[in-house]
Amino acid sequence: MNDTINPEKINPEKIKKVSIIISKGSLEGVYPGLIMANGARAEGMEANLFFTFFGLDAIHRKRMQRIKVATVGNPAMHMPTLLGGLPGMSALATRMMNKTMDKLDIPPIPEFMEMIADTGCGIYACKASVDMFGFTSDDFIEQLDDILTVGDFYDLAAGGQIIFT
């Protein structure tokens, strides 16, 4: 059996464009999308990030530096929900995760957002979510390209892959 994977057999046509939806406002909900967008841009692909619901925290000026690891109801934490709900558990898990990411040279969210924007990645907020939470464009980072309706997002994503993290 051949252990190497031939990408041409899996998908002969390379991906040229990705639009990534970030809907969760926790570290483990935000970073996968940022890492994927950064990787897409590094590979020369067009990339767009679309933030909706609690994912808006990642582009909210006052909230983006306080994003934490979700310890309650997170099966990947491998701990009982009751333990995850103890005071300080989320802060402890967040500190540990940030320390590990720092060792791996993964930047904090504000720096990562700026870096990704500088590569030409589009950064968008969901209009329905912005309206639902009572936000305005002034609440968001300067790198935000626009606040879009879902229909506008689909137009933007047309011809590419949509990834929901």
Q: Is residue 81 situated within a structural domain?
A: no
DSSP state of 138: G
Q: Is residue 101 situated within a structural domain?
A: no
- What is the three-class DSSP state of 34? helix
Task: Tell whether the model's pLDDT for residue 102 goes beyond 80.
Answer: yes
Instruction: Return mean pLDDT, the chain.
Output: 88
**Phi, psi of 20, rounded to the nearest 5 degrees:** -110, 125
pLDDT given at position 105: 87
CB proximity list for 61: less than 8 A, separation 6 or greater: 139, 140, 141
Edge-first strand listing for the sheet containing 17-22? 146-148, 122-126, 46-51, 17-22, 161-164
Q: Is residue 4 situated within a structural domain?
A: no
Task: Tell whether the model's pLDDT for residue 74 goes beyond 90.
Answer: no
Q: Is residue 82 situated within a structural domain?
A: no
Q: Is residue 96 situated within a structural domain?
A: no
Least confident of 12-21, 77-86, 89-98: 77-86
Which string of DSSP letters, residue by residue, matches 10-27? Answer: H-SS---EEEEEE---SH
How many residues would you count in the chain? Answer: 165
Task: Tell whether the model's pLDDT for residue 7 goes beyond 80.
Answer: no
Q: Is residue 47 situated within a structural domain?
A: yes
Q: Is residue 126 situated within a structural domain?
A: yes
Domain CATH number, residue 119: 3.40.1260.10
pLDDT: which is higher, 97 or 56 = 56
Instruction: Supply the pTM of this predicted model.
Output: 0.83
Residues 127 and 144 sit within 8 Å (Cβ to Cβ): no
Least confident of 37-51, 60-74, 111-125: 60-74
Task: Tell whether the model's pLDDT for residue 4 goes beyond 80.
Answer: no
Domain count within the chain: 1
